[in-house]
Amino acid sequence: MTVLDSETAAAPHRKDLRREELAKFLRACRARVHPEDVGLPPGLRRRTPGLRREEVAQLAGLGVTWYTWLEQGRPINASEQVLEAVARTLRLDAAEREHLFRLAGVRLPSPADTDHPELDGATQTILDQLDPLPAAICNTRFDVLRHNAAYRALFPRATGPAGSGEPRNSMWCAFTMPDCCNPFVNREEELPRMVGVLRAAYGRHVGEPAWESYVRDLSAASDRFRELWARQEVAPPRTSRKVFRHTGVGVMHFQASYLTIPAAPEAYLVVYTPEGPEDRLRLERMVAEPAGVFAECTHAAGRAPEMRSGAKAEHRTG
């Protein structure tokens, strides 16, 4: 039997296990909800703690038989609307609601603030403590959400204030900045991988206006992005080698590491670690004198169209 045949044969078994887990989870959640919690009289003769199945069905607006089958792990399909009603009735919190959807095999609807999650004050403290290593919090659309001083010194154009006309998005900057001031040296090696990572994230957001306009605008601004996007290649996030050129200190080589944030699934921490002693010395000089080593690039020809596109992106991602 091939690996593919083995995985195909195991799929029904995994579905059965998932239904069993769903049944046990629903029963446990039902037992934790007291009748008075949902406006029902406590009753005198309850054989089991919590709500009865028929009470959950009534409160959720479902048929008793259908809910019973769901709780028994029968092979029935539940819609997003039905699961939302069950989650509300059983008073599930965000983590429990997500667990319910996953066990039911239904894609969890993305909250409106998925791309720009709430980040507590400790996040910035952690970033600052990583200096002189450049570090930032980004989302899966490559928007730069937070960063430290070293990251700002390395990417001044991608970390400008709102209204500056520069996009706070590393993907947009990598594809639209002219060569003369683009800090990204090994683009031919890394850009296909970055687009593959973006493509994988896009699969979770197909049809969402913010994502569709992002892809459409970047495709219009960059022929190279449009070409790579059309390949339909998908790649996972992984540690990679980045080579950057800074106008004040020269070329630096880094290992880029990506760490997930459990409280914000659509965000990640990226940290750039210099490869060798010379790279670290140049990095330390850049961080120590960010204003003194940065030379403004002047490229009258070719900048205007790209910066107009960048201004559009800043409005979208800022």
State the Cα–Cα distance between residues 7 and 2, nearest whole angstrom. Answer: 9
Q: What is the CATH number of domain 3-104?
A: 1.10.260.40
State the Cα–Cα distance between residues 312 and 294, nearest whole angstrom. Answer: 25
pLDDT score recorded for residue 195: 96
pLDDT score recorded for residue 318: 33
The pair of three-digit structure tokens given for residue 189, joined into one six-digit string: 């090696």
The tally of CA atoms less than 13 A away on the side-chain side of residue 234 is 6
pTM of the model: 0.67
Q: Side by side, which strands form the sheet with 250-260? A: 144-147, 135-139, 267-274, 250-260, 240-246
Tell me how far apart the terminal alpha carbons of the chain are, to the nearest angstrom: 52
- Asked if residue 170 lies in contact with residue 142, where contact means CB atoms within 8 angstroms, the answer is yes
The residues spanned by each domain of the chain are 3-104, 121-317
From first to last of its 318 residues, the chain has per-residue pLDDT tens of 554 454 444 555 667 788 899 999 999 999 988 888 777 777 656 677 788 899 999 999 999 999 999 988 888 888 888 999 999 999 998 878 888 988 888 877 655 556 666 787 788 999 999 999 999 999 999 999 999 999 999 988 777 665 555 678 999 999 998 887 788 999 999 999 999 999 999 988 888 888 999 999 999 999 999 999 999 999 988 899 999 999 889 999 999 999 988 878 889 999 999 999 999 999 999 998 765 444 455 554 333 333 333 333 333 333
Backbone angles phi, psi at 77, to 5 degrees: -100, 130
pLDDT score recorded for residue 5: 52
Length of the chain counted residue by residue: 318
pLDDT score recorded for residue 77: 85
Q: Which CATH architecture has domain 121-317?
A: 2-Layer Sandwich (3.30)
Q: Which residue's entry shows tokens 């400790």?
A: 122
